[in-house]
Chains A and B, each alone.
Chain A
Amino acid sequence: MSKLVAVYSDDSKLLEAADQLIAAKAPVEEVITPFVIEELLEKFHIKSNIPLLAFFYGVFGITSVFAALYYTFVIDYPLNIGGKAPFSLTFPVLMFIGVVLITVLATVTTFFIQAKVYPGKNPEFEYPGINDDKMVILVDKSKLTPEMEAKLREIFDATGAEKIDEV
């Protein structure tokens, strides 16, 4: 699959190009940057459901830890320690810690699955400098008409792309 690659070094020019590409309804496949550019994510309406999922993991965590504590300490084997009730206010301490542990592990697993990253994976796309000081806009050439391609090249030129490449 052939891709059109526009390389930028200046994030303000990249953002300008992003505005024009969105206005031109260009089929932008991806923008790769060496650090997060919040404005870019806003322009392309990039959202994630990780916060919502984390909330549900928390609900699951607190319920399951409470259930485990209640089963072990109240139902299965109620210990009499100095006459204190087995179902006591000490539960929230372990419920809190349990909920943090379960939510952290589940959220990170979700991140790995959704972002498709795992140990030893080779990078999906490589281009010199994209993890250093270069920002690139990728466009799938197969989705471009010749007129659209010409228009995109014009936008890249006008916004000061350092290089327009094909990979």
Chain B
Amino acid sequence: MYKKEVRGELILGNKSYGDITRDILRSQEEKAPMWWWISFAVFFVLMSIGLGYYVPLTIAKGIGMWGNNNQVPWGWAIINFVWWIGIGHAGTAFSIFLLVFRQKWRTSINRAAEAMTVFAVLAAGLFPAIHVGRPWDEMFIFPYGPNSRGLWVNFNSPLLWDVFAILTYLTTSAIFWYIGMLPDFATVRDRSQGIKRKIFNVLSFGWVGSMDKWRKFEDTLMILGGLAMPLVIAVHSIVSTDFAAGILPGWHETIFPPFFVVGAIFSGFSMVVTLMVLIRKSFKLEEYVTDDHFDAIARIITFVSLIMGSAYLIELFIAWYSGNTYENYVFNENYLKGHYALPYWLMLIFNAFLPQLFWFNKVRRNLTWIFWITIGVNIGMWLERYNIVVPPAAEDFLPANWFHYSSTIVDKWIYLGTIGLFGVGVLLFIRFIPMMAMNELKQQAKRQTDLKPTDIQYHAIKKLLEDE
């Protein structure tokens, strides 16, 4: 059962069910504010240049447009891929983990986190798709029959698992997100007219909140959640085996699967917090996304940051303790004081040290601190992927082979293009889709009122006290 005494009230201001509908739909029913148009324009331009010009340029001229070289075959594309997939885990981590563990404070945040997942996974999927160099041959990754080329795909390869894992994750997340929105689409349908009503009539699938539908709705979401939860762990473990199955010192590590999963949740939670700070400020939703929500997330981020810090230390220790010269070089020379010391130390500061400020109650309840620390974590997590992808490959076994990596303008613009795609997606989401799960908020409001004495109980208690 939800304990208000422990968690505090999750919806402030004694909201009625009607208030919740009006507050959440305000962002759709009122005119878009100027900041929305400006942000949309900026992200749209980034998306258009990055994905509209530089992606076709890469496809037309080849991967030689990027900074990758023989020594460092995976550059920004794979860094960005892993970074986006990590962020994409937030929706599931937030929404599904907390749903399955029955954490009621998820209600205000889960919808935005799920939306983020879908756009982040779309952005992630772009990179391997263009990294293959000849996207028109991509169908060969699917096992559609051996007759055309005499053999099946290699089911032993983590790269192949990745394709199936990410497509399954995208499908599951998108379905989970959409099914959860059906009742809210029906609410919008009932409140709108004309073309908007017709659109939401299609989107709401004829939803009416009858008892039978609610039962099936709840069961379906719980099953999807239960299935997606281990899937999150599987997807990022598989992404990590892309590296761990290689023989490069710095990649060939058994710690990678849990390390990647925890890192993904870390960056995903941070991105959710960054966005929720902005959404709360922009739409004045302080009564729904309370300081207690941020406090709860900040505690999780602190805990995860400690796991990340421990993992970094374990890597350094094992590299030294193993006595393996090459591995020791990567970690205790190259990272700590070598050519790549700067990104490594910045990563440590952003991921392991800075979030420790959340031990202070004042920091956990100060939105400015929360915003900048989580931005720092996102930068730190990008640098972590940089540190994994580039330094071990650039300086491996033979110093004669060593070759350094620097990204090109094409790399940078494609990355900015995916940020544009993500931004456009999130902005369209907050403008046209109920950005919080209204039906779940109402359920939460009911739980809170259930804990308060009813009028009859209140007067009975008062009378008893007076009589005494």
Contact = CB atoms under 8 A, between A and B. Distances in A.
A97 B155 contact: no
Interface stretch (A19-27, A36-44, A143-151): A36-44
A89 to B, nearest CB: 10
B156 A81 contact: yes
Contacts of B207: 117, 123, 131
Query: Chain B: interface secondary structure?
Result: helix
A37 to B, nearest CB: 7
B21 A133 contact: yes
A41 B2 CA distance: 19
Contacts of B52: none
Contact of A34 (B209, B212, B215, B219): B209
B234 A93 contact: yes
A115 B234 contact: no
B246 interface: no
B29 interface: no
A114 interface: yes
A69 B175 CA distance: 26
Nearest to B146: A77
Interface in A23-70: 30-37, 40-41, 44, 46-48, 50-51, 54, 68-69
A31 B211 contact: yes
17 contacts: A34-B187, A35-B438, A37-B446, A41-B211, A46-B212, A50-B219, A76-B152, A90-B155, A104-B224, A115-B212, A115-B213, A123-B189, A123-B201, A130-B190, A131-B183, A131-B209, A133-B18
A94 B163 CA distance: 11
Contacts of B224: 104, 107-108
A105 B171 contact: yes
Contacts of B206: 116-118, 120-124
Interface of B: 16-18, 21, 143, 146, 150-152, 154-156, 161, 164-165, 168, 171-172, 175, 179, 182-183, 186-187, 189-191, 201-220, 222-224, 227-228, 230-231, 234, 238, 438-440, 442-443, 446, 450, 454
Name the 10 nearest CB pairs between A and B, nearest first. A121-B206, A133-B17, A117-B205, A133-B18, A35-B442, A35-B439, A131-B187, A36-B214, A111-B220, A72-B152
Contacts of A36: 209, 214, 217-218, 439, 443
Contacts of A11: 446
B143 to A, nearest CB: 6
A79 B238 CA distance: 22
A133 B445 CA distance: 12
A58 B216 CA distance: 18
A102 to B, nearest CB: 10
A123 B211 contact: no
Nearest to B206: A121
Interface core residue of A33, A36, A37 (most chain B CB under 10 Å) = A36
Given A100-B168, A107-B220, A79 B439 contact: no
A97 B204 CA distance: 29
